[in-house]
């Protein structure tokens, strides 16, 4: 198995029998939220370092429902049919949580995006996660001012 994080987890703990296709949309969003945050934080810390408080504040500007909804809008046309279906599953999932600092539309879009990221992660398609996020950041300019 490759020396990637998911591969190491599967090697150490076993792969289990629940692949991405068998996960609920909200389970995909749960793990996708973590992966999205991990990518953003990795970019921030490796490009500029800095104090944790400063990094956290910069990450908060990008890792929130409104920013994620904007990113989704920027990449929607680039999604495959399969990716669009996964996104819709996440967006339409019944969630007991509610939007705190965003509209319900933005919150649902963000949940759909997180479900897509989670699906791609569990399927081992890290290159596609990075490709979509990079494309979205370039189109929205969300990561342009990392050094604020």
Which residues belong to the active site?
Answer: 33
**28 alpha-carbon distance from chain centroid:** 10
Contact (CB, 8 A) for 71 and 133: yes
Distance CA 1, CA 142 (A): 35
Q: Name the DSSP letter for residue 110.
A: H
Q: Name the DSSP letter for residue 20.
A: G
Distance CA 22, CA 109 (A): 21
Q: Smallest Cα–Cα separation from 37: which of 97, 118, 147? A: 118
Distance CA 116, CA 103 (A): 20
């Amino acid at each position: 198995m490759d020396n990637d994080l998911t591969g190491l987890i599967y090697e150490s703990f076993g792969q289990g029998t629940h692949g991405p296709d068998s996960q609920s949309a909200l389970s995909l969003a749960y793990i996708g939220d973590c992966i999205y945050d991990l990518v953003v934080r990795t970019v921030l810390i490796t490009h500029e370092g800095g104090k944790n408080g400063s990094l956290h504040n910069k990450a908060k500007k990008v890792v929130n429902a409104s920013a994620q909804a904007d990113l989704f809008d920027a990449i929607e046309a680039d999604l495959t049919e399969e990716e669009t279906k996964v996104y819709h599953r996440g967006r339409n999932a019944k969630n007991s949580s509610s939007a705190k600092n965003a509209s319900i539309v933005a919150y649902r879009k963000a949940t759909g995006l997180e479900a897509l990221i989670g699906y791609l992660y569990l399927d081992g398609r890290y290159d596609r996660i990075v490709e979509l996020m990079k494309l979205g950041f370039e189109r929205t300019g969300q990561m342009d001012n990392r050094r604020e």
